[in-house]
């Protein structure tokens, strides 16, 4: 599921105990430590405050505080915490709101075990945890926003020429390894550039970087993003 040298520490947030038990069993079989379970968003927030986990798997529909609200609360307080939404909802508004709230991924509960494992693995490569179908939905929405009128932001002028090159390749869907090969850089250097880009542009993750690149005209709807 990720590099075996370091098992990922993960709490689960879902209001269905049977679903939590099934996912927990899979994660443990893959060598990961399930450090806690929550039945609503407020419980998830408390778990993250206490445990400082590597990744939270979060449902959307939960009582008291739903997964989208919990994601916003966690990201505001502990922005380094990675969150992947795992839900039955394939509604576009939930998908887009999850990414805007800072989630690093969005997975549907009808996926099979192999797809769950491979998609979560993408996080360790610095990629969003999204199925190809959901990634296409996001890009279509960003392209629509781009057609409404791309604009330039002041923050973009703060990027170096190399950072703009990296951002363009990120927006075109390239992985860090592919960016490194294209620009003749090490993956470590690419990781450094991506972190700088997100910091300078006040963005939370690569999905938001794609949105920014299209909105500002760095990548246009006609590109292969």
Q: What domains sit in the chain, N to C, each tagged with a CATH number? A: 9-132 (3.40.50.2300), 144-215 (1.10.10.10)
Model confidence at 39, in pLDDT bands (50, 70, 90)? Answer: very high
Average pLDDT rounded to a whole number, residues 138-164 = 64
Q: What span, in angstroms and rounded, lies between the C-alpha atoms of 86 and 13?
A: 9
Percent of the chain with pLDDT over 90: 26
Q: What is the distance between the alpha carbons of residues 77 and 94, in angstroms, rounded to a whole number?
A: 22
Say what the pLDDT of residue 150 is: 46
Is the predicted pLDDT of residue 62 greater than 60, yes or no? yes
pLDDT band at residue 152, thresholds of 50, 70 and 90? very low
CB 8 within 8 A of CB 33: yes
Q: Considering only 16-30, 125-139, 141-155, which range has the smallest mean pLDDT?
A: 141-155
- For residue 24, what pLDDT band results from cuts at 50, 70 and 90? very high
Of the chain, the end-to-end C-alpha distance in Å amounts to 27
* Residue 210 pLDDT grade (very low, low, confident, very high; cuts 50, 70, 90): confident
Is a pLDDT exceeding 50 seen at residue 146?
yes
- 37 pLDDT more than 80: yes
- Decide if pLDDT at 16 tops 80: yes
Reported as a pLDDT band with limits 50, 70 and 90, residue 8 is low
Question: Looking at the predicted structure, is the pLDDT value of residue 35 above 60?
Answer: yes
Question: Can you list the alpha helix ranges (DSSP code H) found in the chain?
Answer: 17-29, 41-51, 67-77, 92-101, 113-124, 132-147, 154-157, 161-171, 176-183, 187-201, 206-215
What is the predicted pLDDT for the residue at 119?
79
pTM: 0.64
Confidence of residue 6 (pLDDT cuts 50, 70, 90): very low
- Predicted pLDDT of residue 54: 85
Do the Cβ atoms of 11 and 42 come closer than 8 Å?
Answer: no
**In the prediction, which pLDDT does 219 show?**
60
Q: CA 19, CA 215: separation in Å to the nearest integer? A: 38
What pLDDT shows up at residue 204?
77
pLDDT at 5: 34
C-alpha torsion angle, residues 134, 138, 140, 141 (rounded to 10): 140
**What is the average pLDDT score of the chain?**
81
């Amino acid at each position: 599921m990720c590099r075996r040298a370091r098992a990922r520490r993960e709490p689960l947030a879902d209001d269905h105990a049977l679903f939590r038990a099934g996912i927990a069993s899979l994660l443990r079989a893959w060598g990961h430590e399930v450090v806690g379970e929550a039945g609503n968003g407020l419980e998830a927030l408390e778990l993250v405050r206490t445990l400082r986990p590597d990744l939270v798997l979060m449902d959307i529909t939960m009582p008291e505080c739903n997964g989208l609200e919990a994601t916003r609360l966690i990201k505001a307080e502990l922005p380094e915490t990675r969150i992947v939404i795992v839900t039955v909802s394939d509604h576009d508004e939930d998908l887009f709101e999850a990414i805007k709230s800072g989630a690093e991924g969005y997975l549907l509960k009808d996926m099979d075990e192999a797809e769950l494992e491979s998609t979560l693995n993408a996080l360790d490569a610095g990629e969003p945890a999204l199925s190809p179908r959901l990634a296409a939905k996001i890009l279509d929405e960003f392209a629509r926003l781009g057609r409404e009128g791309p604009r330039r932001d002041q923050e973009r002028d703060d990027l170096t020429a190399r950072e703009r090159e990296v951002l363009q390749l990120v927006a075109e869907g390239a992985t860090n390894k592919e960016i490194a090969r294209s620009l003749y850089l090490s993956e470590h250097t690419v990781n450094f550039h991506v972190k700088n880009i997100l910091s300078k542009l006040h963005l939370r993750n690569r999905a938001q970087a794609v949105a920014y690149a299209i909105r500002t005209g760095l990548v246009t709807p006609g590109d292969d993003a």
